[in-house]
Amino acid sequence: MLPIQALLDSIDDLAWIKDRDSRFILVNRKFGEVFGRDPASLIGKTDFDLSAPDMAEQYLHDDLQVMRTGQPSRREERISRGPGVFGWSETIKVAVLDAVGQVVGTAGVARDITERRQAQAMLEQRVDERTQELSNTVDQLRTAQRELVTKEKMAALGSMVAGVAHELNTPIGNSLTVASTLQDHTRNFESVLQGGLTRSALDSYVTANRDGTEILLSSLLKAAELVSSFKQVAVDQASTNRRRFLLDKTVAEIVMTMGPVLKKFPHRLEVDIPPGVVMDTYPGPLGQVLTNLITNAMLHAFESRTDGVVRVTTEPVEAGRVKILVQDDGDGIAEDHVSRVFDPFFTTKLGHGGSGLGLSIVYTLVNDALKGTVSVQTQRDTGTGHGTCFTLLLPLEIQ
């Protein structure tokens, strides 16, 4: 056996040498095993005798390229692993030179990487499947988030309806009482007229009517104001229509409709927004954000106090944007909670009226609907007390 033959037979990869016409002049034991042939019977054969025509054509092209350029070739390629059986190999080919440096053929080594490619393909398939599963999960979470936002919005709207209805009881009840009283006075006055009108009876009737109509007018104006504010806020929150509005007026309407809810707390709400700030955006999501932030402060900021203050203010900022601050002088937020306040379902009041969705909905609405940002700063045990401040940075006009 030739020394080079013994060397090639000792390796586990396919190895061969071809002449200038791409005929095999030497193949190793592994080569014969793969093709189920005696290595000696392959001498003088070409790739066209062993492989499919398209594969043999590619092998021939590679041989000619190596012989023409003298440069090695290294590539992963499809190979035959026996009759009708195909796989993949990592193949290296080099030019074979004679004693004077002339190219007389090619030599090659091919390592079977079929199992590696199959494992890689399976891994890629699993990655694709997992990616699709994750994508589906994300889509489901986004759908669930939108449903939660809608449910929370409708719940807030329902609470506002109940609150405003309760709030309307007082002015409407007063109006009914005054109207019935005026009706009684008019009947009594008609009876007096039949017996003869006196100066004192006329004065009494006029005075009673004047006082009654003043009370009636005041009560009806209060009811009309409530209805007007509720109507605008309800329309905004029930839809996501974009419109131009004055920030101070819209916030005042939102605060007015929150009146019944705010009366449940001993704390005070102060609003200081300068007139003239015009926004062209979505007042519904803005109202929901402010409602959630104010309610959140009332619920969480004052664990040990009954005289807390929540302030809604604005600060100067660069052109085209407005900064709205919702700040309290309460207990502050624990340091390990600050990074989680916008997480869905995170709440320190679980089982005690907290759903963990209020601030998550704030974050979603500010970023997605209002195209702005929301951040939180908190202080504990400071020289002036405590406090938490939520900062909204919003464009005055949605682009």
Rounded Cα distance, 233 and 231, in Å: 6
In a domain, residue 261? The reply is: yes
Residue range 197-252, pLDDT digits in tens: 778 878 787 887 887 787 777 777 767 766 665 555 555 454 567 889 999 999 99
Alpha-carbon distance of 65 to 129, in angstroms, equals: 40
- Paired residues of 96 in beta bridges: 105
What is the predicted pLDDT for the residue at 396? 93
- pLDDT of the residue at 352: 46
310 CB-near residues (< 8 Å, 6+ apart): 267, 268, 269, 270, 294, 297, 298, 301, 326, 327, 328
**Domain for residue 139, yes or no?**
no
| Residue 174 included in any domain | no
Most confident of 131-140, 287-296, 342-351, 382-391: 287-296
Rounded CA-CA distance 127/138 in Å is 16
pTM of the model: 0.48
* Structure letter (DSSP) for residue 161: H
Domain stops at, among 87, 112, 137: 112
Over residues 117-159, the pLDDT tens digits come to: 888 888 888 888 888 888 887 788 777 766 766 666 565 555 5
Q: Tell which of 112, 138, 168 closes a domain.
A: 112
CATH code for the domain in which residue 82 is found: 3.30.450.20
Per-residue confidence (pLDDT) for residue 116, from 0 to 100? 83
Structural domain includes residue 198: no
Q: Residue 392 — pLDDT band, cuts 50, 70, 90?
A: very high
Question: Does any domain span residue 266?
Answer: yes
Q: What is the pLDDT of residue 166?
A: 60
Residue 126 domain flag? no
Looking at the structure, do residues 390 and 244 belong to the same domain, yes or no?
yes
- pLDDT of 365 reads 85
213 in a structural domain: no
Domain membership of residue 167 (yes or no) is no
Residue-range definition of the domain harbouring residue 275: 240-395
- Domains: count for the chain: 2
Residues 108 and 244 both lie in one domain? no
Tokens found for residue 267: 């704390």
* Listed residues 84, 112, 140: the one ending a domain: 112
